[in-house]
Amino acid sequence: MGKTIGVVLKGYPRLSETFIAQEILELQRAGFRLELISLRHPTDKAQHPIHREITAPVHYLPEYLHEEPVRVMRALLACIFKPGFWSAISAFLRDFRRDFTRNRLRRFGQGMVIAAEYAPRLSFLYAHFIHTPASATRYGAMIAGLPWAVSAHAKDIWTSPAWELREKLGECEWCVTCTSGGRDELASHAPKPEKVSLVYHGIDLARFPAAGAHSVRDGSNSSDPLRFLTVGRAVAKKGIDTILDALALLPPGMNWRWTHIGGGPLKADLVAQAARLGIADKCSFLGALPQAEVLETYRDSDLFILPCRVDETGDRDGLPNVIVEAQSQGLAVVSTAISGIPELIRDDVNGRFVDPDDSAELARIIANLGADPATRNALGSEGEKIVRAKFDHKSAITDLIAKLSASLDGARKGRAA
């Protein structure tokens, strides 16, 4: 496949970003030479099996510049004499005036390290997330004279200022994103909207084989209660607090247990909320888990619940991969019709929609589906058909491979000229 691609990531490895690991593994299998460049060190104690299959070397940038001052100073001295350094300084100062933060300064320092330490053996830079990883990538690419591209996802699209999206989309070679809504938003800011393409993540169906028979639990048996599941980080946009409020409203005679998988800053608040509502004994907060354990929990569950919302900062999900995973296992999904979720879930076809923050309506839907395994399982079966027909990651990765191959060919021709 030619020269090496530097993949710039916010953090690696991360349990919550299996879609990125899946993509990296498929690019590795396609023959690309990759080096992974992470802005942060990992915080998760466990890893998914897929991370052990990825053999690309992993490098860590200075997470905070003051922690590695000698390394940053060496990068500065190496970059001063590169042809693109002063253009990058000019771009950084324009950005710094509009975003007068330590974070902006940190991204420029990380960009210098990319340009000094890694760029000499790279032909192309590819960033995941259009906010901070793309900032460091942009500065590094500008200093080193490398072409670059970006994959945008959710929070990074909706919380980045318009001026920054416009300038990054004007300078990168191309951008891919994982929902139609995200594509349309990015295209509205791009000087050349055709640079922005829709590429769904999909899932590796070999890792999510069909689950087999569905359960017939209906909540009437106290020794075999209904099993409700939520997978997702404990952050405001997931709407997990609404789930707890809804669970507290379920009929007293319905037997159920709810499991949450995922870390996140609001986890302690959710645990306290469950206790305050008097349902803590029916709720399990398991934290982040490896993929094999998450899969087992999907298969043991009866209903997947994730009532996403747009939070007060404008942050929102795209199409959460956990919804795709749940549907691959024949689980009916209760969610909200925001962002990319309606690109998979259709109301009364393979799941049910509820308005964000409407705990009373959510409770009604959960109770109805919990007591009606036939309807619940019909919705889940239809969802599994849709996922297996339209969300196989192998079709999506083909488009990305074509883009990266074309960019590498262009880089080689540029050097030859």
In a domain, 217, yes or no: no
Domain that holds residue 34: 4-202+393-416
* pLDDT of res. 302: 97
In terms of pLDDT, which residue wins out, 201 or 68?
68
Residue 279, burial from CB neighbour count under 10 angstroms (0-12, 13-18, 19+): middle
Q: Distance between CA atoms of 132 and 110, rounded to whole angstroms?
A: 10
Same domain, residue pair 145 and 89: yes
Mean pLDDT of 72-86: 96
Whole-model pTM: value is 0.83
316-to-81, 133, 156, 329, 338 alpha-carbon distances in Å: 42, 19, 9, 25, 8
Averaged confidence pLDDT in the chain: 94
Mean pLDDT of 113-133: 97
* pLDDT of res. 337: 97
In a domain, 261, yes or no: yes
In terms of pLDDT, which residue wins out, 245 or 199?
245
CATH of the domain at 191: 3.40.50.2000
Element (H, E) at 181: helix 180-189
Same domain, residue pair 262 and 335: yes
Same domain, residue pair 179 and 282: no
Above 50 in pLDDT, residue 259? yes
Same domain, residue pair 231 and 159: no
Contacts of 69 (CB under 8 A, 6+ apart): none
In terms of pLDDT, which residue wins out, 107 or 390?
107
Lowest mean pLDDT among 16-25, 73-82, 242-251: 16-25
Same domain, residue pair 182 and 285: no
Percent of the chain clearing pLDDT 90 (strictly above): 83
Same domain, residue pair 27 and 147: yes
Same domain, residue pair 233 and 382: yes
Same domain, residue pair 398 and 385: no
**How many domains in the chain?**
2
